[in-house]
Structure 1
Amino acid sequence: MVKLILSTGNIVSGGPSIIRKPGAYRSNLELTNSLRSNFLAAQQDYAEEIPESNGSGLSDDSTDFLRDGSEPALAPVSAWTEQEGDVIYVPRIDWSTAGLQEEPSQYDITVKLFFLPTAPISDRAQYAKEALDLVLKELQVPEVGLLIVSFPGMSFEGDCEWEADRVNASQGNDEDEIATWLAIEDLHRRGLVKNLGIAEFGTEKLARFLKKVQIRPTANQINIKNCCNVPPPLIKLAKDQGIELLVHTDTTDILSHGTLRGLLGPGLQGAGVLADPEDDTSEGLKGDLTPQWVVKYTAVVRDRGVIENKGYFASAGLTTN
C-alpha cells in the first residue's frame, strides 16, 4: 500500500508555497479549501523552477496555462510532489523552512487528531504516531501542550442540551475508544504530549470512559452549535473530575472519500495526482483510496495570544489494483 500525506502548510502565513486564503471557519471546508490552495501554490511555485527546455513536459502550447489562459504554467505532478519509500507527500515539503519563530516554551500548541471511519481501528496507534511526528517536525518542537482525540460516530446534537446528552450516551464504541486511548496514553508517557483531551463526550460517555483509562483527559471539547448550553450534569462531572470543557466548531466528518478523490483526481478542481478511474489512458495513481486520519495543529504565542502557525496534515492509503 502507498500512503499519501497531504499538507496545507501554515494557513495564517503568506509566504511561498503557503495558501493565500484561510478558507472557511468550519473545519472540513477550511481543510479542503486550504489543501486545494496549497496544491495550486505548489504547482505554480515549482513550475517557475523548471526551465522550458529541460524536457519536463512543459512546452509552449496552451496546456502550460490555466484554463482561462491568464496564469503561468503548472508543474507536472512529479515536480511538486515527492515520494520517500512508500510515502508520497502532496505537495512536497521543504523541511528546512519548518519551525516556529521563537523558543518552543513561548507557545501553547494544541493538536486535534481525527480518526476517520474509513480506516481500520487496529491501525490507530500507528496513525497517532504518524500524525504527531509530522506536527512535531513541522513546528520543530519536542512536545505539544494538548492533544485532543476525535473519534468517528460522535456528535453533540439535539433539540436541546438534555437531548444531545442523552443521544450521545449511545454513540461511538466504548471498547474501541478505550483500546485507542492506550496508544494515546503512550504518547504522553514518552513526553511527546503534556496533556490529553477528548471530543464530543457527554455525561454518560465521559463517566464510563473515566472508569477505564489510566491517564485521564484534562479537556473535553464539545460542539454545541445545535444546543443552547452545556448540560448541567456534564458541567458538574467535568468540574468534579478537574476536566476543562472547551467549545469548538469542528465536524467529525472532516474528510470523506468522495471529497478526497475530488481534491486529488483529474478535473477542474482536482490536482491530477489520481488517474481517472473511467479512463484507462488517464495518467496518475490508480487504486482504491482510503482516508485514514486528519490532524489539525495550532501554535499560539502565549504572551501575545497570536496564532503564528496553523495547519493540517491528512493521510490516505492507496491500494493499487
Structure 2
Amino acid sequence: MTRIILSTGNVILDGPSIIRKPGTSRSNLELTNSLRNNILAAQKEYASALHNGNGNGNGNGHDHASSHAGQNGHSSRPAPELWTEREDSTLYVPRIDWESAGLQESRSRYEITVKLFFLPTAPPEKRFDYIKEALRLVKKELGVDDVDLLIASFPGLAFEGDCEWEADRKNATMGNDDEEVTTWGFLEKLYHQGQIKQLGIAEFGTEKLKRFLDKVKVRPTVNQINIRNCCNVPPPLAKLAKEKGIELFTHHDSTNVLPSGTLRELLGQGPQGAGVLADGDLNSSGIKGEIIPEWVVKYTAFVRDRGVIENKGYFASAETVEEA
C-alpha cells in the first residue's frame, strides 16, 4: 500500500490576488489544472538540472533517469524518482520544497481558511487521520500553528433543485447524519486544542442544520451553500442561521472534486499523465493497483489589511492498493 500526497503549491502565480467572494473558479477544474501544472513544472525543473549535470540531490544519475524516461513513448518525461519524494509508505507528487514554504508576514496579519473535502471513495472511520494529516500539511506549507476557519464538506450533500424550496427539501434526506456528527466530534477536539479557531460546514439545508445543531457541542459559525441552480437562499434557512448566529456564504466548489478516473488520468501513463502509475503495464516501474481518492483540502491565506490573497493551494491524498 502506498499513500500518495499531491500538492499544487501556491496557485497565486502573478502576485497576490484581489479577493472576490464568492469565487468564480470551479474547485475541481482549478485543482486538476493546478496539480498538472505543478507536476509539469517539477518535471521540467529536475530534467533541466539533470541535463545541466547538477543531478537531483538524491544520487540519481543520468543513465538511471534515461532508462525510465522513455516509458510508453514519453521520451521527454523524466523518471518519477527524480521529481517525486518517498517517505516510508508515502509518495509526495511532486516533491515539496519545505524550506521555501511559509508566509511573508507575521501570522496575525492573515486570515487562513481551510476547506476539507471528505471524498465518497474513502472510509468514514479514517476521517480523524485524514483531518490531522490535511491540517498538518497546510500548517507546514504556510508555516503556522493554527487556522482561523476549517469548513467540512461531506460527501453526498448538494443544494440543487428547480427552486430554493425544492433544493432545501431534497437536502434534508441527503448525506449521513451519524457519520457527519462523528466527524464533527473529531474537529471539535482540534478546536478545543486551539488548532482551529472556528468551524464551518457546507451544503446544510434547514432540516439538516436543525438536526445537526441538536447533536453537536461546538456550533458551526459558517454554512456554505451552492445556489447556482436555485438562485436564492431559502427563507427558513436564512431565518435559522440568523437565530443561531451562523453566517451563510455561497460558493462554487464542486461536490465531486476529485473522482478516481480524473486522478488516474492525472497520474497515469497517458499523454497528459505524470507517469506515476503503471496503468496495468506489467513491465512498468510505476505503482500498480487500484487508486482510491481519500480527501482534498483547499487553503487560502488572506492578508487582512490589504484585501489580497497571498497564498492559495490544494493538497490531495489517495491510497493505492495493489491487486492480489
Instruction: Tell me if TM exceeds 0.5.
Output: yes
**Rounded Cα–Cα distance in structure 1 between residues aligned with 2:6 and 2:287:** 15
Residue 304 (structure 1) aligns with: 306
Residue 295 (structure 2) aligns with: 293
Residue 106 (structure 1) aligns with: 109
Superposed counterparts of 1:94-243, under 5 Å: 94-243=97-246
**Rounded Cα–Cα distance in structure 2 between residues aligned with 1:264 and 1:254:** 16
Residue 282 (structure 2) aligns with: 280
**Rounded Cα–Cα distance in structure 2 between residues aligned with 1:79 and 1:101:** 29
1:25 Cα shift?
1.2
Q: Which moved more, 1:258-267 or 1:73-82?
A: 73-82
Q: Is the 8 Å Cα contact of residues 65 and 82 (structure 2) preserved in structure 1?
A: no
Residue 39 (structure 1) aligns with: 39
1:226 Cα shift?
0.4
Q: What SS does the aligned partner of 1:172 have?
A: coil
Q: Is the 8 Å Cα contact of residues 225 and 249 (structure 2) preserved in structure 1?
A: yes
Q: Following superposition, which runs of at least 4 residues in structure 1 exceed 2 angstroms of deviation? A: 51-60
**Rounded Cα–Cα distance in structure 2 between residues aligned with 1:314 and 1:192:** 20
Residue identity matched to 1:289: I
Q: What SS does the aligned partner of 1:224 have?
A: coil
Q: Which moved more, 1:282-291 or 1:117-126?
A: 282-291
**Rounded Cα–Cα distance in structure 1 between residues aligned with 2:231 and 2:136:** 38
Residue 318 (structure 1) aligns with: 320
Residue 49 (structure 2) aligns with: 49
Residue identity matched to 2:267: L
Q: Which runs of 5+ in 1 are unaligned?
A: 16-23
Q: What SS does the aligned partner of 1:128 have?
A: helix
Residue identity matched to 1:224: I
Residue 18 (structure 2) aligns with: none
Q: Which runs of 5+ in 2 are unaligned?
A: 16-23, 54-60
* Higher RCO structure, 1 or 2 (CA under 8 Å, sep 6+): 2
Q: Is the 8 Å Cα contact of residues 111 and 144 (structure 1) preserved in structure 2?
A: yes
Deviations, residues 249-306 of structure 1 (Å, cap 9, x unaligned)? 00120000100000000010100000021x2212301011110000000011000110
Deviations, residues 150-188 of structure 1 (Å, cap 9, x unaligned)? 000000000000000000000001011001111011111
| Residue correspondences, number | 306
**Rounded Cα–Cα distance in structure 1 between residues aligned with 2:37 and 2:310:** 19
1:58 Cα shift?
4.7
**Rounded Cα–Cα distance in structure 1 between residues aligned with 2:300 and 2:249:** 15
Q: What SS does the aligned partner of 1:4 have?
A: strand
**Rounded Cα–Cα distance in structure 1 between residues aligned with 2:2 and 2:65:** 27
Residue 8 (structure 2) aligns with: 8
Residue identity matched to 1:288: E
Q: What SS does the aligned partner of 2:216 have?
A: coil
Q: Is the 8 Å Cα contact of residues 52 and 58 (structure 1) preserved in structure 2?
A: no
**What is the TM-score with the length of structure 2 in the denominator?**
0.91
Q: Is the 8 Å Cα contact of residues 50 and 62 (structure 2) preserved in structure 1?
A: no
Cα distance change, pair 235–3 in 1 and its aligned pair in 2 (3 A): same
Q: What SS does the aligned partner of 1:292 have?
A: strand
**Rounded Cα–Cα distance in structure 2 between residues aligned with 1:178 and 1:208:** 10
**Rounded Cα–Cα distance in structure 2 between residues aligned with 1:312 and 1:58:** 28
1:55 Cα shift?
3.2
**Rounded Cα–Cα distance in structure 2 between residues aligned with 1:305 and 1:42:** 31
Deviations, residues 93-147 of structure 1 (Å, cap 9, x unaligned)? 0100000000011011110000000000100011011001100000001111100
State percent identity of aligned pairs: 62
Residue 18 (structure 1) aligns with: none
Q: What SS does the aligned partner of 1:49 have?
A: helix
1:49 Cα shift?
1.6
Deviations, residues 53-109 of structure 1 (Å, cap 9, x unaligned)? 73344559x959x97x9xxx5431001000001111000001000000000110111
**What is the TM-score with the length of structure 1 in the denominator?**
0.91
**Rounded Cα–Cα distance in structure 2 between residues aligned with 1:200 and 1:5:** 26
Q: Is the 8 Å Cα contact of residues 50 and 56 (structure 1) preserved in structure 2?
A: no
Q: What SS does the aligned partner of 1:50 have?
A: helix
Q: Alpha carbon RMSD of aligned pairs, Å?
A: 2.0
Q: What SS does the aligned partner of 2:215 have?
A: coil
Q: Is the 8 Å Cα contact of residues 292 and 319 (structure 2) preserved in structure 1?
A: yes
**Rounded Cα–Cα distance in structure 1 between residues aligned with 2:99 and 2:231:** 46
Residue identity matched to 1:55: H
